[in-house]
Structure 1
Amino acid sequence: MLAVAAFAHHGFDAAKPQHTPEGFRNVTGAQVAKPLSWLLRWRWEAWRAGLPPAARQPTPVVPPQLELLQARQPSATWIGHATVLVQSGGLNILTDPVFSERASPVGFAGPRRSQPPGIALADLPPIDVVLISHNHYDHLDQTSVVQLNARSGGRTLFLVPLGIKAFLEREGITHVVELDWWDVHRVQGVEFHFVPVQHWSARGLDDRMETLWGGWCVFAPDLRWYFSGDAGYSRHFADTRERLGAHARDGLLFDLALLSIGAYEPRWFMREQHMDPADAVQAHRDLGARRSIGVHWGTFELTDEALDQPPLDLAAARQASGLPEEAFGVLPIGGTWRPAGAPGPAPKQ
């Protein structure tokens, strides 16, 4: 009874399969959060093998089109890792903002950026909505969210999974809405759906699975798009398409899907929590996306593949599945994608 009472402020609901008295769980049965012995084995084997190898090429970078972004036309600009500026429904929306030098609880250690953010935080257009997928340090950066909130005078809305509102409020961020899986929040006629993915959460040693994780579906008149956050491949992608199928047009649910394609080696350790490019190609098909862009690569060295390997593996997976090149690719850091027929020049993708 004490555990249930302690967690009630996070929205505990015994009728929902993802809820537990202590926090949350994956409903797919996957063993996502690995025991310490597995982690130690992975790090030992990586050290012995000298992994990850050095990248053969630096992550491509182009100057951002800041003036064009002032128009708020439908677009997606890759800032780095899982941080994307998406413009839809007249809103400026930022996913998982991480602008700090390291994805770490401390500034002197931990994964370090290989390239600066594609748009400096100070150069962003006014941000209306920030979407957070989960609380890992490479997706929820304390310094970045505090600066974004201060920059807007508290007007930016933060949409977050259950359990994260309290963290933001401790940082002085109060314009926050928490969502559970399948909850919907509307902003100026744009629908934000928080949807299930297979992953996990923790920021320390004693808070594993205490906050929820998930992906985002955003439906605006000019752009319907999906953001996976972190996710292992699961049935959730097909379930999302089935459950939200009323939003489909011409048989496709999304104009754009932002799908994680990095941090996937070794597969025996990462499979349940991070898709590899082949998994992402299947997720693209499951979701019913017209176009997908790979994110969550080329920025922080997190796992055993080289920083430049994900796009190479994506090209191979795309070819093996018969998917056209224009259906699923990547952007350079700072690069902007716009739908076909959108005004203004776009950088080569």
Structure 2
Amino acid sequence: MIDRTRTARRSDRPEGPAAAAIAARSTDVPVGGPPRRWPQSFADRLAAPLPGLPQLARLVRASRPLASVGDVDRIPIRRDGLPALRADTTAVTWVGHATYVLDIGGLRVLTDPVWSRRIPGVRPRFVPPGVALTEVTPVDAVVISHNHYDHLDAPTIRRLPRDTAVFVPAGLGEWFRRRGFRRVTELDWWESARLHDVRFDLVPAQHWSRRGPADTCRSLWGGWLLGAADHGPRIYFAGDTGYGDFFTAIAQRYPRIDLALLPIGAYHPRWFMRAVHLDPAEAVRAFGDLAADRMATMHWGTFAMTKEPVLEPLELVRAAWSATGLPRDRLWDLAIGETRRLAPRTT
């Protein structure tokens, strides 16, 4: 069980749903350890009440048509292929949506892997994945941010070797164990585990979880920090999240983030999505709070999750970035299938 008794002075504690967990001490968890006991619900981590029927009805009335096929045809695609996996090379390849292939510390890690053409409730993906799953070998580890269908895709998971190391938020481990995965590690916010030379830390996010009508907030949600040893590059993967002061708390605890993978899509309408999804301007603001060196975009251009025009997230994030005056080369607005490499740190 996790020691949740330690708290910070009220004047030192951040506001918002992450407050209690932010105050808790960091804990190292063994990889693939035995199942752990968790609360029946994580609803106390919500930033705001979930919408009810009146809000859902308003959303339907306010909906506008999906973007045109012409917009879809303009989604940037670049088939770089995966680089050779090397212990001294850190690289990121955007597959689409929130799926990245991360080469870090000699491991190949997948974030929220979704290779399916369809997911429940939305139209088929606009363009094929930037890399075929059959090309992603080996798959050393998977990190999952939460259990929504566009981030936890059962058909893709079934295609992975059962000895793949899987890192998930609290309460989600049994979903993988039932499917035969043998190296499942569940973490609470601010906990960590180490696989070979790479450390995996679960950090707060402002979101929620559900896969069916009876499991709302039964498992946790979060982002991930991946770092190769103490001197290697550190990558932050936000998963799904709204904006909150936990970004500053992450920066305080992890003062050196080389690359932040931040979602920029699925934000319309704001009155409905603000609590759980960043818009492009908020993503740039979160990047500033994180004090990261570079930002890479995701969670757009793949599925029609909400009703903003397909290319609008890309256009707005570029405008928000330009307004900051930051160097343009620190924004990695990758095309689907594009690979970028992080230079080794010199200090």
- Please report the TM-score for the alignment, with normalisation by the length of structure 2: 0.84
Q: Does the 8 Å CA contact 2:90/2:343 hold for their aligned counterparts? A: no
- Distance of aligned partners of 1:141 and 1:306 in 2 relative to their CA distance in 1, 3 Å threshold: same
* 3-state SS, counterpart of residue 148 of structure 1: coil
Q: How far has the Cα of 1:125 moved from its partner?
A: 2.0
Deviates more, 1:18-27 or 1:83-92: 18-27
Q: Map 1:136-215 to 2 at 5 A.
A: 136-149=148-161, 154-215=162-223
Structure 2 residues without counterparts, runs of 5 or longer: 7-19, 22-36
Q: 1:170-319 residue pairs with structure 2 within 5 A? A: 170-220=178-228, 221-245=231-255, 253-319=256-322
**Residues 234 and 177 (structure 1 numbering): CA distance in 2 closer, same or farther, change over 3 Å?**
same
2:138 to 126, 151, 154: 126
Measure the CA separation in 2 of the matches of 1:55 and 1:239. Answer: 41
**In the alignment, structure 1 residue 327 sits paired with structure 2 residue 330:** yes
Distance 1:335 1:204, change over 3 A: same
Contact 2:266 2:277 in 1 (8 A): yes
Quote how far apart the aligned CAs of 1:60 are: 1.3
Specify whether residues 33 and 54 from structure 1 end up closer, same or farther in structure 2 by C-alpha distance, changes over 3 A only. farther
Once the two structures are TM-superposed, the CA of residue 14 in structure 1 deviates from its matched residue by 6.4
Q: In 2, distance between residues paired with 1:148 and 1:64?
A: 23
Contact 1:53 1:305 in 2 (8 A): no
Counterpart CA distance in 2 for 1:20 and 1:166 is: 11
Q: What is the aligned counterpart of 1:25 among 31, 43, 56?
A: 43
CA contact (8 A) 2:122 2:304 kept: no
Q: Which runs of 5+ in 1 are unaligned?
A: 1-10, 246-252, 343-349
Q: Distance in 1 between matches of 2:264 and 2:281?
A: 9
Distance 2:258 2:239 in 1: 17
Report the Cα distance in structure 2 between the residues aligned to 1:111 and 1:286, rounded to whole angstroms: 34
Matches of 2:66 and 2:264, distance apart in 1: 18
Aligned mates of 2:244, 2:146 — CA distance in 1: 17
Structure 1 partner of 2:118: 102
Distance 1:44 1:13, change over 3 A: farther
* SS of match in other structure, 1:84: strand
Instruction: Give 3-state SS (helix, strand or coil) of 1:338's partner.
Output: strand
2:53 to 36, 39, 52: 36
Structure 2 SS opposite 1:222: coil
3-state secondary structure, aligned to 2:156: helix
Cα gap change, 1:148 to 1:59, in 2 (>3 Å): same
* Equivalent position SS for 1:69: coil
**Structure-2 change in CA distance of 1:32 and 1:243 (3 Å):** farther
Cα 1:211–1:12 shift into 2, 3 Å? farther
Q: Structure 1 residue 21: deviation in Å?
A: 4.9
> CA separation in 2, counterparts of 1:21 and 1:145?
25
Aligned Cα root-mean-square deviation (Å):
2.2
Which residue identity is paired with 1:41? R
Letter of the 2:289 counterpart: D
Give the Cα separation in 1 of the matches to 2:38 and 2:53: 22
Does structure 1 retain, via aligned residues, the 8 Å contact 2:130–2:337?
yes
Q: Which amino acid aligns with 1:311?
A: L
| TM-score normalized by the length of structure 1 | 0.84
For residues 306-336 of structure 1, what are the alpha-carbon distances to aligned partners after superposition, in whole Å with 9 as ceiling and x for unaligned? 2211110001111222222212231111100
Instruction: Give the counterpart letter for 1:112 in structure 2.
Output: P
Change (3 A) 1:15 1:239: same
**1:128-169 CA-partner distances (Å, limit 9, x unpaired):** 1100000000000011112112xxxx2210000111111111
Aligned partner of 1:114 among 108, 126, 133: 126
CA distance in 2 between partners of 1:255 and 1:155 (Å): 29
Q: Is the 8 Å Cα contact of residues 194 and 215 (structure 1) preserved in structure 2?
A: yes
Whether the aligned pair in 1 keeps the contact of 2:189 and 2:202 (CA below 8 Å) is: yes
- 1:202 aligns to what SS in structure 2? coil
Aligned-residue offset at 1:222: 3.1
> Which deviates more from structure 2 when the two are superposed, residues 84-93 or residues 332-341?
332-341
Contact in 2 for aligned 1:77/1:336 (Cα 8 Å): yes
**1:50 has 2:53 as partner:** no
* Residue type of the alignment partner of 1:45: A
Within 2, Cα distance between the matches of 1:82 and 1:257?
Answer: 13
Q: 1:24 to 1:217 in 2, by over 3 A?
A: same
Q: What count of residue pairs does the alignment treat as equivalent?
A: 313
CA contact (8 A) 1:69 1:125 kept: no
Shift of 1:266: 0.6
- The alpha-carbon distance between structure 1 residues 341 and 194, as it changes in their structure 2 partners (threshold 3 A), is closer
